[in-house]
Chains A and B, each alone.
Chain A
Amino acid sequence: MILEVENLSVRYGSLTALRGVSLGVDEGQIVCVLGPNGAGKSTTLAAIAGGVAIHTGIIRWCNQPISGLMPEAISRLGLSLVPEGRHVFSTLTVEENLLVGTYQRRDRQEVAKDMKRALEIFPRLRERIHQPAGRLSGGEQQMLVICRALLTNARMLMMDEPSLGLAPIIVDQVYEMLLNLRQRNGLTLLINEQSSERILKFADHVYVLRSGELQLSDAAANLQDGKAIMNAYFGFDARPAELAAAGNGGGR
């Protein structure tokens, strides 16, 4: 396993955001964490990336414990977080945004090559390379942050709700890009989403989080009918009447 999380708990003051969450990701896999708003999905990714202090638990990356390291140190190990809401540096140009992530690398010649290759994959960014990133559209900004994270030489990307605030057609493009990258570069992906609709098509493994606790962990192949996910997502344990009612509510 390339990433292992064991018994992770996170507290914000007296509020417990995560309670004993364990999960694992194999190299080259696409793993999805599903859950409603406030379930602790973002906290999980931020804790792995070193952005929030963890209360208990161990996080291992390539069999080395990384819990307690600073975010910049974890990024330097090849584990890159793309947080929710894109976070482009809006006053920096597209090129400068891409460069910020490359300064941690020693292989400057490879950086130039990777940059060229990345801009071939993301032609829209090449067209706007000298524009301030704040002027890009939402979809272009999402492409920019993915590209920026890749250029850190990441082996694994953690994407926090990449579809949030984007038109469906743009979301399709983003996912197409991510699948493409996995095929080309053997990229491993850990993705948070609120909706299982898209993700079930190509995820290898699915976790469902609710109220800071893990509700479900199973191979995506076993979850295609969506029932188990819905039960875990809404917490309807064997209450068929409510389940049927929720089915119309668009939980899937």
Chain B
Amino acid sequence: MIGFVQNIVDALSLGSIYALAALGIGLLFGILRLINFAHGDFITIGAFALIVPSRNETAVMGIGSLPFIIMVPAVCAIVVIAALMSDRLVFRPLRRASSPTLMVASFSVGYLIQNSILVIFGARPKGIDLWSALGKQIAVGPLRVPQLELVTIGVTLLLMLALSAFLKKTPYGMQIRAAAEDFQMARYLGVKANSAIGVAFALSGILAAAVSLLYISQTGTLTNVLGVPLMLYAFIATVIGGMGSLVGAVVGGFTVGFLAVMLQAYLPDDLRSFRDAFVFGAVVLVLLVRPAGIIPTRALAQRV
């Protein structure tokens, strides 16, 4: 029983990271119909932003050594700038292009980021130590929970509440929601397309930066492709959650996190190395029952 509760905490923590990454993808998909495969690489940028650029094997903390209250905004700022630049330089000139074109463009942006990091930082994985003090376990009754997992879950909840408040209560948020439902109509009402999209990219960048920090503090290893598997799981999360629905992205993120952790814990030993096959099998099952995802969006059905 205690083992099961422990697994639930693990699942919530992993699901949080997937949910945050899925939200970043879902935001842009909602407004642009862009499946941004570079989102994982925005996460990678956030991770590498912590260290001093060099090809040396040992990583030297740069921004990462600054006090928390400066470091977090600085990492966010770097990822947001990268996201805004990719919009300005790549996606804005493609505004009238079709969704598949946008998707291929996002792949290119992703490869460009991965290889730029390779050139600047070298190919060897680097170990860094971020918030290792959080690795301590705290005892909750008979449970022993790593602090970091609780922090991850807490930060995710806070970010979701903040995002939801931003989208519901601020003029920019309301314009983004309107544009996500019917972009052309929003423009006829004076919503500036480029600023609404810019704000969405910036929000997506902040979410990516949060994932960077939470993920790196867990793994402690930097590679130029560290965001790729995250992107894959997050993308799957948005698909089973329901493309275009932010609530769906969160639900999908936690679903994938739960599947991964529970299968890891309860599959027979000799099947455990095939865990991902079972995760994706379950995803196929979900899509067979609900092809439009767990929370389908009507706006999407009308437009496609």
Contact = CB atoms under 8 A, between A and B. Distances in A.
B194 to A, nearest CB: 9
Most buried by B among A72, A83, A97: A72
Contacts of A80: 188-189
A75 B189 contact: yes
Interface string B170-189: 01001101100110111111
Contacts of B191: 72, 100, 103-104
Given A83-B188, A91-B177, A99-B174, A72 B193 contact: yes
Contacts of B229: none
Contacts of B182: 87, 89
Contacts of B186: 89, 100
B187 A72 contact: yes
B171 A103 contact: yes
Contacts of B178: 89, 92, 96-97, 100
A152 B181 contact: no
B88 interface: no
Interface string B191-205: 111000000000000
A91 B181 contact: yes
Contacts of B184: 51, 71, 83
A89 B190 contact: no
Given A96-B174, A99-B174, A100-B174, A148 B189 contact: yes
A43 to B, nearest CB: 14
A91 B193 contact: no
A49 B188 CA distance: 7
A71 B187 contact: yes
Interface string A10-31: 0000000000000000000000
A152 B178 CA distance: 15
B298 A101 contact: no
A232 to B, nearest CB: 29
A149 interface: yes
A70 B193 contact: yes
Q: On chain A, which size bracket covers the interface?
A: 20 to 34
Instruction: Tell me the interface secondary structure of chain B in the complex.
Output: helix
Interface in A125-161: 134, 148-149, 152
Contacts of A180: none
B181 A101 contact: no
B301 to A, nearest CB: 11
A115 interface: no
B188 A51 contact: yes
Most buried by B among A70, A101, A148, A152: A101
Interface in A64-79: 70-72, 75-76
Interface string A229-248: 00000000000000000000
A90 B185 CA distance: 12
Contacts of A100: 174-175, 178, 186, 189, 191
Contact of A152 (B185, B189, B192): B189
Contact of B177 (A51, A76, A89): A89
A83 B189 CA distance: 11
A189 interface: no
A81 interface: yes
A97 B177 CA distance: 10
Interface in B133-150: none
B265 interface: no
B177 A72 contact: no
Given A76-B190, A92-B174, A87 B185 contact: yes
B112 interface: no
A192 to B, nearest CB: 15
Most buried by B among A89, A90, A92: A89
Contacts of B175: 100, 103
Contacts of B190: 72, 75-76, 101, 103-104, 152
Nearest to A53: B96
Contacts of B193: 70, 72
A163 to B, nearest CB: 19
A166 B298 CA distance: 22
A103 B195 CA distance: 13
Contacts of B174: 92, 96, 99-100, 103
B299 interface: yes
A148 B187 CA distance: 13
10 contacts: A71-B187, A72-B187, A72-B191, A75-B187, A83-B188, A90-B298, A91-B299, A97-B178, A103-B175, A103-B190
Given A89-B178, A91-B298, 9 more contacts: A72-B190, A83-B185, A83-B188, A89-B182, A92-B177, A100-B189, A103-B171, A104-B190, A148-B189
Question: Which 10 residue pairs of A and B lie closest in terms of their CB atoms, listed nearest first?
Answer: A104-B190, A75-B190, A101-B189, A71-B187, A87-B185, A100-B178, A89-B181, A103-B171, A72-B187, A89-B178
